[in-house]
Structure 1
Amino acid sequence: MDSVDLQVLAAARRWAAEGRRFAWVTVARTWGSAPRPPGSWLALRDDGRVEGSVSGGCVEDDLIARMRGNRLGGGQPFILAYGVTQEEAVRYGLPCGGTLELVVEPSPDPAQLEDLAARLGQHQLTQRQVDIASGTVTIAAAERGDALSWDGGRLITVHGPRWRLLIIGAGQVSRYLAHMALALDYEIIVCDPRKEYGPGWDVPGTRLVTTLPDDTLFALEPDARLAVVALTHDPKLDDMVLMEALKLPAFYIGAIGSRLNNAKRRDRLARYFDLSEQELARLRGPVGLAIGSRTPPEIALAILAEMTAVKNGVAVPLRDAVAEP
């Protein structure tokens, strides 16, 4: 889930532990252009301090004024709409006549926030449901394919686990890719059984493993929120993980190398590992968007940009040529 929203949850838990009163705000629906997507969170403390965002700032200013004016009290969730008219859209800084519909919980249950944090910490896909009429809030396990739902009376949001990235190889490109992916809240696992590379890995917030790539992959129990990127240039390592990953539900699978080397790789995978054309078509190789990248940080940027596009459902054609990095 979005790292901004994780910060909101952490702040709310901290405020609850300090005994502070705060409100919990969720973007339920948007029309037109909107700065934050449905499901985004904002926490608002009794003194006007804000964590997270729902707009470009003017809606937050109004929420702060409401909190300080004791107009966000009570215990029952309610709905707030902004930008219903063009005048309001301008007033609240919503671009292109955008409209926001927010669900406000004046007194969220701290125990439920702790439950939610614990589930997310264990990488559990979790559903949070707010019923406006009854005021009840429930947290339960979610299923793959569940999505945000809002019918004007009941808001269902789905959270976690974070997107995961398995990087094969602990070289220079991997180092830059890991740093960039951390900023997008990926959980990073770096696999490199080569004794020359592992000891030098020192990227904070990542996990280095030295088991064989295919064993590492299976230990992660791959799902549709996992990306696999092979960056060693060594067929004994890269092919080992690709031959398994292409049969599994990872949302992104890529391998570094030139057009020629990737053609040879596809031939090996088809010839010796019995991968179908459909499975091979999932392989992003040469990996990354074609942005003329040459240096390790540029290559990492191209990879992460392509990963982001695929994750967001943007159709990205395979690259047809790339220089050997």
Structure 2
Amino acid sequence: MQSSDQEVLQRASDWLQQGYRAHLFTVIQTWGSAPRLPGAILVVREDGHLVGSVSGGCIEDDLADKAKHQQLPEQASIMEYGVNQAEAQRFGIPCGGQIKIFSEPLTHESQLVPMLESLAQRRLLKRSVHLPSGEVRHAYVLPEGQPRLESEWFHSYFGPQWRLLIIGANQLGSVLAAMAQALDFYVMICDPREEMRAEWHVEGADWLPGMPDDVVLEIVPDPHTAIVAVTHDPKLDDMALLEALKSNAFYIGALGAVKNQEKRKQRLRSFDLSEQEVNRLHGPVGLRIGSRTPAEIAVSILAELIQERSQVQQAGLSQAATTRAVA
């Protein structure tokens, strides 16, 4: 399954190949209760068709209307919405929020190729646009934070999609896989049991054959990867967790009651894992919300994933800000 950014950029590329012109909009900064975060993108075609989102809908409608009447900027520029209470109410921005958006005209599909390639290759791309001239520069970088204005340059980033590897194709695994895709995770599923493979019917998830520990090594977990074991079979879960806990995955969880989790941690300690590595395991997996059914447990797992992902993003922003300050 493609990430939301990939879907937006690929659709825009298709339009440009068909001879349409369009504009790419990127959220630079928000204040108050603006509904989208910095980095959110929207592409509006010259006839008002659009894909993506930068707000709850009203700003998109305004940009589409401007496109149909040829009122969008002809050069790279900055647009602001909700600068006062009246405009905030007009554009549906709650609590007087404000949004600053970068606008850039698109005339050829080649403008989007570097971003699509970076997403496909799971590499973080820094895209810098010079406002006075429209010059564009690309560079592969380490995490630097959110999109930002720096003198006459606008920097935005396109990078790895968040991934979720599920060990176990049972009912919980199925519900978790379906829900996670709605949250923009690229979902992978692993279960060596043939009877489970035969009954797997979740579209969009990538089935990875083989033993779970081998699969964990094959996907090379990075800081954008989460791994959750839900088979309830130590022979499958434990070996996968053994490799996962030594990886760079940002989240590792396993299904099971508190007593079973303690037994699992004792088994893991008998291998070459440090106490710090063992303590990375989230178990029982998910937030404590009183969940019992597979759907409720899936919600609790994804809630914890979102929480951990936000912390990872915030830590990256803090580190990037420190690095820039030192520089």
Does the alignment reach a TM-score above 0.5? yes
Q: Is the 8 A contact 1:2 1:184 kept in 2?
A: no
Partners of 2:122 and 2:246 lie apart in 1 by: 23
- Relative distance call for 1:16 and 1:87 in structure 2 (3 A) is same
Partners of 1:64 and 1:249 lie apart in 2 by: 42
3-state SS of the aligned residue for 2:78? Answer: strand
Give the drift of 1:176: 0.8
- Structure with the bigger percentage of helix: 2
Please name the residue that 2:7 is paired with.
7
Partners of 2:28 and 2:144 lie apart in 1 by: 19
Q: Is the 8 A contact 2:17 2:108 kept in 1?
A: no
- Relative distance call for 1:144 and 1:65 in structure 2 (3 A) is closer
Partners of 1:249 and 1:73 lie apart in 2 by: 43
Counterparts of 1:87-98 in structure 2, within 5 Å, are 87-98=86-97
**1:198 paired to 2:197:** yes
Gaps of 5+ in 1: 315-325
Give the drift of 1:132: 0.9
Please name the residue that 1:290 is paired with.
288
- Relative distance call for 1:106 and 1:121 in structure 2 (3 A) is same
Gaps of 5+ in 2: 313-327
Please name the residue that 2:309 is paired with.
311
3-state SS of the aligned residue for 1:313? Answer: helix
Structure 1 segments, 4+ long, off by >6 Å, are none
3-state SS of the aligned residue for 1:197? Answer: helix
Partners of 1:138 and 1:187 lie apart in 2 by: 28
Give the drift of 1:106: 2.1
Partners of 1:186 and 1:254 lie apart in 2 by: 16
Q: Is the 8 A contact 2:3 2:186 kept in 1?
A: no
Give the drift of 1:133: 2.2
Q: Is the 8 A contact 2:39 2:146 kept in 1?
A: no
Q: Is the 8 A contact 1:58 1:92 kept in 2?
A: yes
Give the drift of 1:44: 1.1
Please name the residue that 2:317 is paired with.
none
- Relative distance call for 1:144 and 1:26 in structure 2 (3 A) is closer
Please name the residue that 1:125 is paired with.
124
Counterparts of 1:43-58 in structure 2, within 5 Å, are 43-58=43-58
**1:248 paired to 2:247:** yes
Please name the residue that 1:42 is paired with.
42
Q: Is the 8 A contact 1:194 1:210 kept in 2?
A: no
AA of the residue aligned to 2:277: E
**1:30 paired to 2:30:** yes
Counterparts of 1:272-291 in structure 2, within 5 Å, are 272-291=270-289
The alignment-based identity, stated in percent, is 48
Q: How high is the TM-score relative to the length of structure 1?
A: 0.89
CA-to-partner distance for each residue in 1:273-305, whole Å, 9 max, x for gaps?
A: 132222222110001111222222222221111
- Relative distance call for 1:147 and 1:97 in structure 2 (3 A) is closer
Please name the residue that 1:236 is paired with.
235
3-state SS of the aligned residue for 2:256? Answer: coil
- Relative distance call for 1:146 and 1:275 in structure 2 (3 A) is same
Q: Is the 8 A contact 1:31 1:99 kept in 2?
A: yes
Please name the residue that 1:318 is paired with.
none
AA of the residue aligned to 1:58: C
AA of the residue aligned to 2:62: D
What root-mean-square deviation, in Å, do the aligned CA atoms of Structure 1 and Structure 2 show? 2.1
AA of the residue aligned to 1:292: G
Q: Is the 8 A contact 1:3 1:184 kept in 2?
A: no
